């Protein structure tokens, strides 16, 4: 649980403070130790911050039938959803072999499903000078999501 998980900027968007971002990166890094990656040998860890301040982690889990592999981001998100969380404020991603790695396209789509209503999700990467913050909307512009199905499509 992270006490002061996030705030809002002057435009009303979620922001994650430096300490919280650093903590999420550290938890993503720790989660990567649980990766099951005998094929790619590319461990990834992720940590998601739910709207209530709780944190859930995941690591990539591969399979001999390669397409069944699940990325760290989705494992972390599903972990949160199974705990009853439906709004994810931020996700940190860490990969030992690729600093600053971003979520793949499939994970971006899954993340979009769980971003806070009428708000964006902060994607936190390990940058050279510390945590780097990106907006999910910048990684998945003009996304398709639940709002499209209920007829309340927001304008970009």
| Whether 132 is catalytic | no
Instruction: Please pick, among 73, 96, 126, 132, the residue that the annotation labels catalytic.
Output: 73
- Does residue 114 contact residue 77 with C-beta atoms inside 8 Å? yes
Q: Please, what is the minimum distance in Å from the beta carbon of residue 10 to Zn ion?
A: 32
Q: Please, what is the minimum distance in Å from the beta carbon of residue 71 to Zn ion?
A: 3
Residue 26 or 61 having the CB closest to Zn ion: 61
Binding site for Zn ion (CB under 5 A): 71, 104, 107
Q: Please, what is the minimum distance in Å from the beta carbon of residue 113 to Zn ion?
A: 13
- Strand order of the β-sheet with 122-127 is 55-59, 44-50, 88-95, 122-127, 130-135
DSSP conformational letter for 68: G
- Does residue 73 contact residue 93 with C-beta atoms inside 8 Å? yes
Binding residues for Zn(2+): 71, 104, 107
Hey, which residues are catalytic here? 73
């Amino acid at each position: 649980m992270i006490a002061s998980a996030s705030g809002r900027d002057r435009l009303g968007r979620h922001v994650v403070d430096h300490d919280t971002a650093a903590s999420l990166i550290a938890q993503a890094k720790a989660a990567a130790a649980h990766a099951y990656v005998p094929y790619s040998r590319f461990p990834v860890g992720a940590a998601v911050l739910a709207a209530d301040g709780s944190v859930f982690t995941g690591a990539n889990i591969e399979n001999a039938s390669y397409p069944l592999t699940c990325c760290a981001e989705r494992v972390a998100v599903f972990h949160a959803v199974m705990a009853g969380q439906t709004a994810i404020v931020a996700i940190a991603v860490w990969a030992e072999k690729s600093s600053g790695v971003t979520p793949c396209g499939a994970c971006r789509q899954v993340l979009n499903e769980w971003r806070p209503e009428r708000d964006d999700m902060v994607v936190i990467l390990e940058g050279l000078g510390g945590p780097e913050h990106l907006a999910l909307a910048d990684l998945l512009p003009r996304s398709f999501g639940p709002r499209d199905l209920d007829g309340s499509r927001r304008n970009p």
